[in-house]
Amino acid sequence: MIIGQDIQQEGNKIILTNHIDDTLLRQQNYEEKKLVGRGFTPDKKLRKFGSVTPALIQADPLLREGLQAELNGDASWADRCYRLFFRLNPEYRCSEGGI
């Protein structure tokens, strides 16, 4: 959730900074990780390894780049961006094990 914004002007540039509060999301991810462990579905075909919000996607450069790569059809680069994000930010993980 965005809790505040700062707008600064530097010459011809306008810089918007969003301040988010993701405490509830991080707590939910932690609780889910305790319940599901490795996070596989019963048929072992899928695993949820993390959860983020749209506000976090706007705020984090790795998530923005991953989304842009996905939209451009570059699934490999998007995958690398998302994996790096979750390695650097384990508090958003919903399951244990490798990414």
Given this model, what pLDDT does residue 70 score?
94
Between the two ends of the chain, the Cα-to-Cα distance in Å is 26
Mean residue pLDDT across the chain: 80
User: Beta-strand (E) ranges in the chain?
Assistant: 2-10, 13-20
3-state secondary structure of 74: coil
More confident residue, 78 or 24: 78
Amino acid at 69: A
pLDDT in tens, 9-31: 989 998 877 777 777 777 777 77
- Angle formed at CA 19 by CA 11 and CA 53, multiple of 5 degrees: 120
Given this model, what pLDDT does residue 34 score?
66
Candidate ranges 37-41, 50-54, 77-81; pick with highest mean pLDDT: 77-81
pTM over 0.95: no
CB 39 within 8 A of CB 29: no
pLDDT band at 38 (very low <50, low <70, confident <90, very high): low
